Every structure is written in structure tokens, then in C-alpha cells.
Amino acid sequence: MGCVMWTKIGGVLETEIYSIDDGFVAIEQARDTVVLLAPDELLMIIKELQSYYDSRIQWQNPTPA
């Protein structure tokens, strides 16, 4: 598998993002867990992730009941 683009992001879970030969982008957080996204899905996923990030105060530190 040849990668044209490849990025590693450190954190609680190390994340690797890379392109694969058949035109998909892979997101990997464990050797046995990979999510493949078609190029047309990337912008939609980015927008949704931005929405979660923008509203993170609502779910990141929930208030006790």
C-alpha cells in the first residue's frame, strides 16, 4: 500500500491519517481499527467534527445531576 499523504497525531490515542492507493483516506487509532473515507465524505466529516469541537463544553464536562 503506497501512501501519498501521511500524518501522525499524538494524544491520548495516537491517530494516523493516510491516503491509500484506491482513493480513500484511512483514519487509524489501533492496528485493528481503521475507518476508510471516500474523498467526497471528507468535507462533511470535517464540518461535523468542527461542530462537535465548537459545542464540546456541552459534552466534555457534563454537569452532575
Is position 64 within any domain? no
As a whole number of angstroms, the distance between CA 29 and CA 60 comes to 20
Q: For the whole model, what pTM was predicted?
A: 0.72
Asked whether residue 65 is domain-assigned, the answer is: no
Residue 25 lies inside a defined structural domain of this protein: yes
Comparing 7-11, 20-24, 53-57, 58-62, the range with the smallest average pLDDT is 58-62
- 1-29 confidence digits (pLDDT tens): 567 789 999 988 899 999 998 899 999 99
Q: How confident is the model at residue 41 (pLDDT cuts 50, 70, 90)?
A: very high
Instruction: Decide if 30 is inside a domain.
Output: yes
Is 29 a member of any domain? yes
Q: At a CB cut-off of 8 Å and minimum separation 6, what does 39 contact?
A: 23, 24, 25
The answer to whether residue 1 sits within a structural domain is no
Q: Are 29 and 15 in contact (CB under 8 A)?
A: yes
Instruction: Give 22-34 pLDDT, tens digit per residue.
Output: 899 999 998 788 9
Domains in the chain, number: 1
Which domain range does residue 28 map to?
A: 6-59
Side chain identity at residue 3, one-letter code: C
Q: Is residue 10 part of a domain?
A: yes
